[in-house]
């Protein structure tokens, strides 16, 4: 109990160091389920699991925090069931911090789907109060509002929850982007009001982040940064289709919003991390937290990250014929259990034979790779030589493959 009281009065985020040659930062977040050192790459575990891995694997990888998804968990198995288990941590037997996404992104991603019509009705419709959508599982109708998205996240019990937002596609005209942004701002306030009714549903404090939108329009991004920063959020996220998808645009967006976001709150780019280099670029522009499905999804399809210093490649496709007889580990310098125990030829064979362990061993490697890179980045920031690390990963000639 004393511990809990201690947590209560400790600041959520402490900025520990700023790199002298860039905007890179090192910090720490305190939650009831443990501390999270930043910069941090957060593993995506949409459906209460990091695909192909279990809690033993995650513990061995020293994963600091994982994500869950409000949309998916609401549809299946439902927040009430998880609530009855005492929350997501107990349900999935994960003792460390969890962040849940609010479901706002699904409004965007479902809306983009080609088969956006089901029974001649749109899969998603947005109004001022919320979003009505159809389940991708069984077509049943559901509705999220800012208040319900927060209530669901209270029941799920993540340490960090996200305000409900609308992520507009880059193709949306400026007028619509502005309307959606203003809607997101209203939903941000409503999310906060709903959250403040019950900030510790399971007996420990849940922190809440607001999300900046505004697509690729500088004045909208600045307005959104100002608005969201003015609210009583514990952290600030930067959302949008371009963020992560287009790193050049992402850099611009970060440079617009960075001077506006308070320094003493964690900065979170949602969806960044297709490539290890993208994480470093985001860090360079002042970001503390990221999440991305890419490292795990790429792993499941045989795309494995490698140290770029040797052959200027950031990843290899282990299913390529040239690896059939390659007895080297995926990456000579990698300390992950996959690289310590298995060869490229073996991984190649497992993929070729469509064995499930191919996915698991590859996922372990890619996750270790990302987490290790973040540990290196943190050390570099603390030593004021982050730009050296950045150079190694982002020389001009570096190609994705």
Site for RNA contains 349 (CB under 7 A): no
Site for RNA contains 106 (CB under 7 A): yes
Residue 135 C-beta: closest distance to RNA, Å: 12
- Which CB sits closer to RNA, 2 or 56? 56
- Which CB sits closer to RNA, 270 or 381? 270
Site for RNA contains 350 (CB under 7 A): no
Determine contact, residues 224/239, Cβ cutoff 8 Å.
no
- Which CB sits closer to RNA, 28 or 146? 146
In the residue annotation, 165 being an active-site residue is answered as no
Site for RNA contains 237 (CB under 7 A): yes
Q: Report the 3 state secondary structure along the chain.
A: CHHHHHHHHCCCEEEEEECCCCCCEEEEEEECCEEEEECEEEEECCCCCCCCCCHHHHHHHCCCCEEEEHHHHHHCCCHHHHHHCCCHHHHHCCCCCEEEECCHHHHHHHHHCCCCEECCEECEEEECCEEEEECCCCCCEEEEEHHHHHHHHHHHCCCEEECCCCCCCCCCCHHHHHHHHHHHHHHHHHHHHHHHCCCCCCCCCCEEEEEECCCCCHHHHHHHHHHHHCCCCCEEEECCCHHHHCHHHHHHHHHHHCCCCCCCCCEEEECCCCCHHHHHHHHHCCCCEEECCHHHHHHHCCEEECCCCCCCECEEECCCHHHCCCCCCCCCCCCCHHHHHCCHHHHHHHHHCCCHHHHHHHHHHHHHHHHHHHHHHHHHHHCCCHHHHHHHHCCCCCECC
C-alpha radius of gyration, the chain, whole number: 21
Residue 48 C-beta: closest distance to RNA, Å: 10
Q: Please identify which residue in 16, 49, 55, 199 interacts with RNA, judged by CB under 7 A.
A: 49
Count of residues near RNA by CB under 7 A: 56
Residue 13 C-beta: closest distance to RNA, Å: 19
Q: Which of 101, 165, 307, 372 is catalytic?
A: 101
Site for RNA contains 297 (CB under 7 A): yes
Site for RNA contains 266 (CB under 7 A): no
Residue 121 C-beta: closest distance to RNA, Å: 20
**Site map 382..401 versus RNA, x via CB under 7 A:** ------------------xx
Residue 21 C-beta: closest distance to RNA, Å: 26
Residues 122-181 that bind RNA (CB under 7 A): 162, 165, 167
- Given the rule CB under 7 A, which of 56-64, 83-91, 97-105, 334-342 is the region that contacts RNA? 97-105
Site for RNA contains 375 (CB under 7 A): no
Residues 11-40 that bind RNA (CB under 7 A): none
In the residue annotation, 291 being an active-site residue is answered as yes
- Given the rule CB under 7 A, which of 27-35, 185-193, 227-235, 319-327 is the region that contacts RNA? 319-327
Task: Give the residue among 247, 374, 350, 229 at the shortest CA–CA distance from 300.
Answer: 350
Q: Please identify which residue in 291, 307, 331, 372 interacts with RNA, judged by CB under 7 A.
A: 291
**Binding residues vs RNA (CB under 7 A):** 44-46, 49-52, 67, 69, 101-102, 104-106, 108-109, 162, 165, 167, 211, 213, 237, 239-240, 243-246, 270-274, 291-294, 296-298, 300-303, 317, 319-322, 324, 352, 354, 356, 359, 400-401
- Active-site residues, by number, are 101, 291
């Amino acid at each position: 109990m004393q511990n809990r009281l201690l947590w209560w009065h400790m600041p959520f985020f402490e900025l520990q160091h700023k790199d002298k040659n860039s905007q890179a930062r090192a910090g720490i977040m305190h939650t009831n389920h443990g501390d999270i050192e930043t910069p941090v790459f957060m593993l995506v575990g949409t459906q209460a699991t990091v695909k192909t891995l279990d809690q033993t694997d995650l513990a061995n990888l020293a994963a600091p925090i994982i994500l869950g998804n409000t949309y998916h968990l609401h549809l299946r198995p439902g927040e009430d069931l998880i609530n009855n288990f005492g929350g997501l941590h107990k349900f999935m037997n994960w003792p460390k911090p969890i962040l849940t996404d609010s479901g706002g992104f699904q409004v965007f991603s479902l809306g983009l789907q080609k088969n956006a019509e089901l029974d001649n009705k749109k899969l998603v419709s947005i109004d001022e109060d919320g979003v009505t959508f159809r389940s991708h599982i069984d077509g049943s109708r559901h509705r999220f509002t800012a208040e319900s998205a927060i209530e669901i996240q209270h029941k799920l019990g993540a340490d960090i929850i996200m305000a409900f937002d609308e992520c507009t596609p880059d193709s949306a005209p400026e007028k619509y982007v502005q309307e959606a942004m203003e809607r997101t701002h209203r939903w941000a306030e409503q999310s906060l009001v709903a959250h403040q009714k019950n900030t510790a549903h399971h007996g420990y404090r849940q922190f809440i982040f607001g999300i900046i939108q505004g697509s690729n329009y500088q004045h909208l991004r600045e307005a959104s940064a100002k608005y969201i920063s003015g609210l009583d959020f514990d952290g600030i996220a930067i959302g949008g289709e371009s963020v992560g998808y287009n790193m050049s645009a992402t850099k611009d967006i970060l440079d617009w919003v960075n001077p506006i976001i308070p320094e003493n709150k964690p900065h979170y780019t949602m969806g960044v991390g297709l490539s290890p280099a993208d994480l470093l670029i985001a860090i360079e522009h002042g970001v503390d937290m990221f999440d991305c499905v890419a490292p795990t999804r790429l792993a499941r399809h045989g795309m494995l990250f490698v140290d770029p210093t040797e052959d200027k490649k950031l990843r290899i496709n282990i299913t390529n014929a040239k690896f059939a007889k390659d007895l080297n580990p995926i990456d000579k310098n990698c300390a992950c259990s996959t690289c310590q125990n298995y060869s490229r030829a073996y991984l190649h064979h497992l993929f070729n034979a469509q064995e499930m362990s191919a996915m698991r061993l590859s996922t372990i490697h890619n996750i270790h790779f990302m987490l290790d890179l973040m540990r290196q980045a943190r050390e570099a920031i603390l030593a004021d030589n982050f730009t050296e690390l950045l150079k190694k990963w982002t020389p001009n000639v570096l190609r994705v493959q």
